[in-house]
Amino acid sequence: MTPAPHTASACPKTHPEPRPRLAALVTALAGALLLLLTAAPPATAARPTGYGADVPITHRAATPVDANGRLQVCGTRLCNQHGAPVQLRGMSTHGTQWYAECLTDASLDALAHDWRADVLRVSTYVQEGGYETDPAHFTALADRLIRQASDRGLYVIVDWHMLTPGDPMANLDRATRFFTDITSRHKDRVNVLYEIANEPNGVSWSRIKEYAERIIPVIRGNDPDAPVLVGTRAWSSFGVSEGADESEVVNDPVDAANVMYTFHFYAASHRDEYLAALSRAADLIPVFVTEFGTQNHAGDGADDFAMSGRYLDLMARKKISWVNWNFSDDHRSGAVFTPGTCAAGGPWAGTRSLKPAGAWIRDRIRG
């Protein structure tokens, strides 16, 4: 049925005039609402987060931590708070005993907003002028970088960068102190992962596993939910660099939950045998590539972007998270900035201060 058209004459109504006080109130409220709707937003605003700071709102729809929350290991993948697999992409610092001046508010702003990274790996060397020389200083430095990265909505990998000696048990007492101190300060953050042994070498997998099963409870005592990243044999190559393969880890995993196993590669040195091992391992155990370069195993020499691209394609297909080495201006080709950039205070954004590897990896992080 079509309703009859409504005309003013069909239903005459009379409305009493509002009382003066009510009319004034209605007018005031309408004006306030109009002002609220038409006012320009402030240039910078802040919103509370779940990871310990107020973070400036940027052009990004959400920071990585805003979008994904606390990470967890689900099956063979790294997953977000909703159980969906994620792939983190980002950068590692160089040794903070040498290149702390490359890690400033401005450089980390560029990493978060211009590079659009998801994660910063904070590398605290144990030897080579690092932690063992001044534990309080290097703990405070790691603490500062965790806070700065967290303030920008990045995930943070706390890297215990043991290298020489290659047996992680040689630094067990130091590692216990370091991870006790760091987890006690950051146990309430949802964005921190712990890498407990950078590149074990010259030792068996059983020795590395023993170390992991002693350090993980130290971390869990303060932070029971953070993912822990366990180094593998032969410079975190799943043993390939010492004639083994991933089967030793697959067949004898660490007795702990929420752990991943690390793999490192340098594309100009580590060819198809390493790529194949990474591919096989990622189908069977949780893997995180916490360090790689486009150069040789020393992080120097000519870039092999073609081989690097093969690795990145594989990691994209299998959602393997990765971190590139390194966010500094070291003279080697693996450092992303040209020498002198850090002393000059940048420029950090754009490509003017980047080496070829820096420009290449920035595009891959952004893309």
Q: Residue 76: helix, strand or coil by DSSP?
A: coil
- Close Cβ partners of 114 (under 8 Å, ≥ 6 residues apart): 348, 349, 350, 362
Q: Which residues pair with 230 in a beta bridge?
A: 261
- The reported pLDDT for the residue numbered 41 is 35
User: Tokens 């909505």 belong to which residue?
Assistant: 153
Tens digit of each residue's pLDDT (9 = 90 or more) over 236-246: 999 999 999 99
Say what the pLDDT of residue 367 is: 85
Q: Which pair of structure tokens corresponds to residue 78?
A: 């790294």
Q: What is the mean pLDDT of each run of 10 residues along the chain (367 residues)?
A: 30 34 42 37 34 40 93 98 98 98 98 98 98 98 98 98 98 98 98 98 98 98 98 98 98 98 98 98 98 97 98 98 98 98 97 98 96
Give CA–CA dist 199/349, Å, rounded.
31
Which pLDDT value is given to residue 60?
A: 52
Q: Cβ neighbours of residue 168 under 8 Å, at least 6 residues apart?
A: 162, 175, 196, 197, 200, 203, 207, 208, 211, 231
- Contacts of 68 by beta carbon, 8 Å cutoff, 6+ apart: 80, 81, 86
The C-alpha atoms of residue 12 and residue 10 are separated, in whole angstroms, by: 6
Alpha-carbon distance of 208 to 243, in angstroms, equals 17
Q: Active-site residue numbers?
A: 199, 291
Question: What is the dihedral angle through the alpha carbons of 317, 318, 319, 323, rounded to the nearest 10 degrees?
Answer: -90
Q: Residue 71 and residue 260: Cα distance in Å, rounded?
A: 12
**Residues 154-182: tens digit of each pLDDT:** 999 999 999 999 999 999 999 999 999 99
**Which has the closest alpha carbon to 200: 211, 191, 189, 187?**
211
CB 156 within 8 A of CB 192: yes
